[in-house]
């Protein structure tokens, strides 16, 4: 890897994590820790707002913008495969958004890479899913905007209950979409199968992110770690 490419990737890694230790950076970039220390010094000297120290870790201050991104062949392949998964495993609105995103990527990549977008030899099969009665786009918007929802839910024993839920995020396991949320009835995290939600009302009332009740907290309680947590922020 060229040094310029390594420095660019180093900044990308620092952007997606809250704290990165030299050992972790060295392993991901496949270089020595000494090289990481030198690269961090060079980035700081060139004006990149990197803070931290050896043995503690490094962070990139908020507000730093990279130049317009360019993609290499493997990054394009990852984006295309991810978009195909979205097209096959989600609702029509999200599938259209994935197609639109690929069109935008195709418009900005160099001519020599444009042909990759339609020609990657990786297929994603459709997975049969139970029909979902509620609107997934409406549910995702409630998650984004932190609107509390009321749901009528039928559990595995066919018992119907009404729940008032803080919708935190969606999880996909095989053929099932799950809603992870904080249930006010149980005063605890609960996971609801989307196909068992028979009715949903999105309230104008919004919840505030509360320590101990976030999606990240839920994932930690389930033993999830690594890059999945890094993507959830703090």
CA distance 14 to 182: 30
Dihedral sign from CA coordinates of 194, 196, 198, 203: negative
**In the prediction, which pLDDT does 64 show?**
66
pTM: 0.67
CA distance 153 to 183: 12
Q: Cα 234 vs. chain centroid, distance in angstroms?
A: 13
**In the prediction, which pLDDT does 233 show?**
53
Six token digits for residue 49: 């707002």
Residue 173 forms beta bridges with which residues?
A: 176
**In the prediction, which pLDDT does 75 show?**
81
Query: What is the chain's pLDDT, residue by residue, as a tens digit (234 residues)?
Result: 678 778 888 888 888 777 889 999 999 898 999 999 999 998 888 888 888 888 888 988 876 655 555 677 788 888 889 999 998 888 889 999 998 888 877 777 777 777 777 778 888 888 788 889 999 999 999 999 999 999 999 998 999 999 999 999 999 987 899 999 999 999 999 999 999 999 999 999 999 999 999 999 999 998 886 555 555 655
pLDDT tens-digit map of 43-101: 888 888 888 888 888 988 876 655 555 677 788 888 889 999 998 888 889 999 998 88
**In the prediction, which pLDDT does 72 show?**
75
Judge whether 67 and 8 are in contact, CB under 8 Å. no
Six token digits for residue 55: 């043995």
**In the prediction, which pLDDT does 6 show?**
85
**In the prediction, which pLDDT does 115 show?**
74
């Amino acid at each position: 890897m060229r040094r310029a490419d390594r420095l660019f990737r180093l900044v990308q890694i620092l952007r997606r994590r809250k704290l990165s230790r030299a050992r972790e950076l060295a392993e991901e970039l496949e270089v020595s820790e000494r090289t990481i220390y030198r690269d961090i010094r060079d980035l700081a000297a060139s004006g990149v707002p990197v803070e931290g120290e050896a043995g503690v870790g490094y962070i990139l201050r908020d507000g730093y913008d990279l130049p317009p991104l360019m993609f290499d062949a493997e990054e394009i392949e990852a984006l295309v495969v991810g978009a195909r998964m979205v097209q096959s495993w989600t609702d029509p609105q999200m599938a259209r958004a994935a197609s639109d995103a690929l069109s935008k990527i195709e418009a900005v990549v160099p001519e020599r890479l444009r042909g990759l977008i339609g020609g990657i030899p990786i297929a994603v099969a459709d997975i049969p899913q139970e029909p979902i009665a509620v609107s997934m786009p409406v549910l995702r918007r409630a998650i984004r905007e932190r609107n509390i929802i009321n749901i009528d839910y039928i559990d595995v024993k066919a018992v119907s209950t009404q729940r008032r839920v803080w919708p935190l995020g969606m999880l996909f396991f095989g053929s099932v979409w799950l809603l992870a949320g904080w249930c006010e009835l149980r005063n605890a995290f609960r996971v609801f199968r989307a196909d068992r939600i028979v009715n949903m009302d999105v309230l104008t009332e919004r919840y505030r992110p509360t320590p101990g009740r976030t999606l990240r907290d839920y994932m930690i309680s389930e033993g999830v770690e690594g890059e999945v947590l890094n993507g959830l922020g703090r």
